[in-house]
Chain A
Amino acid sequence: MSWYRANRWWVLRLARLPLDIFVFGTIAFFLVRLLPGDPVSVAISSRSGTVSPEAIAAVRTQMGLDGTVWDQLLRFWGGLFQGDLGHSLVTGAPVIDEVFSRLPSTIELIVLGLIGAFVLCLVLGFLYLRFANRALRASIRVYSSFATTVPVFVVAIFLIVIFYVILDWLPAPLGRVSSGTLPVITGFPLVDELLTGNVDLFGETLVQYIMPVAAMVLTYTPNLLTQYIGGLDRELVQPTTRFQVAAGVPRKWIFFSVFRRSLSSVVVVFGLFFGSLIGGAVTIESLFGFGGIGALGVRSVQSVDFTALQGFLVVVVAVCLIAMLVVDLVNMWLDPRRRPGIESEAS
Chain B
Amino acid sequence: MNPIRKRRVYSILFVLLFSVSGISLILYSLNSNLDYFFTPTELKDRNIPSEKRIKVGGMVLNGSVERASSTISFTITDYENSVKVVYEGIVPDLFKEDSGVVVLGILRNKTIYAEEVLAKHDENYMPPNIEMNNDN
> Do the two chains belong together in a single complex?
no
- Give A residues with C-beta under 8 Å from B: none
- Give B residues with C-beta under 8 Å from A: none
